[in-house]
Structure formats: structure tokens, C-alpha cells
């Protein structure tokens, strides 16, 4: 993927994601203070504290920088889970015939009918607040859209002449799937993975905002939760509640812009299979 060929929206998305990744990786170097340091509570923004301090005296800018690690980690881990399950289910449902394909299609239809957010809230409340539980919940409930898109692509590939030729030559089905079907759907999976990260970050922020996030790992949604319950909204402390919302919005915008570009690119290459010699 050449940067010169990227459209402007996708380039902006890539720049946003690069900034987010660098911030998460180099948080100890970029943060002005240690996350454990305390200063004057409710301190207004100043030169020493660009975004002020919260009710306990923690520097808000430092919290935002360190919280990027948690939000990004949860988004990527949950997206890997959902994209992996969705890719496997979509390939099997698209390539196989008979009871397995019908069973997978029925499972996908059932999960798609379930209202996701209420179920996420119920499961998070039942399993308890932890990052592991949040990742598992989001990953297990977010794979169906990937499965549907991958299945549609595999159905197109399954009846192409080169796949039929491989079957006639007696190539086992698992080799056809691994060496010829899977490489041809990787672009679709990559696009859905990028979009799944954005959706997972929004889901994590929603769960954290209502108090179901991990209290030991502060994310952007967790900062919003504390701002809401500790006087940030009541006292109109925009530097406390607005900044994490902007971080969430910019991060999801970056993933969405890049994901839409990859999705469009995969549709344009829909009938150009990558045949492995």
C-alpha cells in the first residue's frame, strides 16, 4: 500500500492511527508526569498542567496518554478475536456444503438477531469488570458481520474455474482452503478487522462509561465515567470530560476511514483472485 496512492480520507486515517499507536507505545516518554502523582484537585488548565487535574489531583493529560494503551489494546485484542472467529466461520460456511454450511448460517442468523449492546451489558455485569472479560464479550459478539462478508467472497471464489480445476485434480479441500481460498479473502478480513477495532473501542468505552470497565486499568471510557460521577459534568470541567470523548472520536474516525478504504479496495479486486502457483 503506497502512501502516494492513498486517497486523502484514508491518509488522514492512517496519520491518526500512527499518532495513536506512537502515543500508546511511548506513553512514559510523552506523559508529563507519573500517573500516580497527585497535585491540587480540580486544578484549572495551566502551563504546568495543560488539561488541569481531576478531583483527586491526577494530571488529566497524563491519564489520557496512559489510557490510550488500554483503549487501543482492548480494541485490537477484541478485533483479533472477532475477526478470527468471523473469518473461520465465513470460510467454512462459504466453501463447505451440507449440514455444516446450514448450521453455520443458522448460527450467524441467530447471533445477528440478538441486540448486542444489552447483551454485552448483561454479560459484563455477570462476569465481572476486567479487561479479559470485556475482550472476550466484545470478540464473541462481534464476529457475525465479518463472517457474512467473508462468506460472500468465498461463495464467489468457490465456483471459479481455477478452484474447480483443483478439485478435479484431486487436491484435498483443506489445502484448497488454506492455499487458495484464504489468501484471496485476506484483504476482506483486513478491512473488517480495522473496522472491528473501531467498534470494539466504542463498545469498551460504552461499558466503561456505565461502570462495567476494569477499575484497575483506566481507559478513555473510564475517564468519562469518573468525570461523570465525580463532578466533572456538574461543574462543567470541559478539560476533564470533553478530552477523552475527543480521543475516542478521533481514534474511531481513524480506524473507520482506513477501514472504508480497504473495504472499497477489496470490492474493486473482487474478481481478481490471487492464484498460488
- Where residue 134 sits, what CATH number does that domain have? 1.10.3720.10
Model-level pTM? 0.87
* Residue 256, all three cell numbers: 473507520
Of 261, 250, 262, nearest in space to 20 by CA? 250
Within the chain, which residues score under 50 in pLDDT? 271-277
Residue 255 resides in a domain: yes
Identify whether the C-beta of residue 36 lies closer than 8 Å to the C-beta of residue 57: no
Identify whether the C-beta of residue 133 lies closer than 8 Å to the C-beta of residue 216: no
DSSP line for 238-254: HHHHHHHHHHHHHHHHH
Residue 211 resides in a domain: yes
Identify whether the C-beta of residue 72 lies closer than 8 Å to the C-beta of residue 26: no
* Structural domain that includes position 243: 58-268
Domain count, the chain: 1
The half-sphere exposure of 87 on its side-chain side, counting CA atoms within 13 A, is 22
Residue 45 resides in a domain: no
Residue range 205-254, pLDDT digits in tens: 999 999 888 888 899 999 999 998 888 888 888 899 899 999 999 999 99
Residue 216 resides in a domain: yes
**Looking only at Cα atoms, what is the longest distance across the chain?**
76
Residue 90 resides in a domain: yes
Amino acid at each position: 500500500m503506497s502512501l502516494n496512492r492513498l486517497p486523502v480520507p484514508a491518509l488522514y486515517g492512517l496519520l491518526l492511527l500512527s499518532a495513536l499507536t506512537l502515543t500508546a507505545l511511548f506513553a512514559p516518554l510523552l506523559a508529563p508526569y507519573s500517573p500516580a502523582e497527585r497535585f491540587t484537585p480540580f486544578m484549572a488548565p495551566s502551563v504546568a498542567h495543560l488539561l488541569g487535574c481531576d478531583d483527586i489531583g491526577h494530571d488529566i493529560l497524563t491519564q489520557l496518554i496512559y489510557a490510550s494503551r488500554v483503549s487501543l489494546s482492548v480494541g485490537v485484542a477484541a478485533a483479533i478475536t472477532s475477526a478470527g472467529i468471523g473469518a473461520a466461520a465465513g470460510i467454512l460456511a462459504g466453501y463447505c456444503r451440507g449440514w455444516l454450511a446450514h448450521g453455520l448460517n443458522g448460527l450467524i442468523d441467530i447471533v445477528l438477531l440478538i441486540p448486542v449492546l444489552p447483551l454485552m451489558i448483561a454479560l459484563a455485569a455477570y462476569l465481572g469488570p476486567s479487561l479479559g472479560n470485556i475482550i472476550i464479550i466484545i470478540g464473541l459478539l462481534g464476529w457475525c458481520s465479518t463472517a457474512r462478508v467473508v462468506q460472500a467472497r468465498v461463495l464467489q471464489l468457490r465456483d471459479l474455474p481455477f478452484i474447480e480445476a483443483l478439485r478435479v485434480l484431486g487436491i484435498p479441500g483443506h489445502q484448497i482452503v488454506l492455499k487458495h481460498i484464504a489468501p484471496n479473502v485476506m484483504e476482506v478480513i483486513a478491512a473488517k478487522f480495522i473496522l472491528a477495532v473501531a467498534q470494539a473501542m466504542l463498545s469498551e468505552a460504552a461499558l466503561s462509561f456505565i461502570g462495567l470497565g476494569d477499575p484497575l486499568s483506566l481507559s478513555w471510557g473510564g475517564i468519562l465515567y469518573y468525570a461523570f460521577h465525580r463532578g466533572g459534568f456538574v461543574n462543567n470541567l470541559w478539560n476533564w470530560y470533553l478530552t477523552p470523548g475527543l480521543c475516542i472520536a478521533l481514534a474511531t474516525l481513524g480506524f473507520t476511514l482506513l477501514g472504508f478504504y480497504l473495504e472499497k479496495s477489496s470490492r474493486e479486486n473482487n474478481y481478481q483472485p490471487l492464484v498460488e502457483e
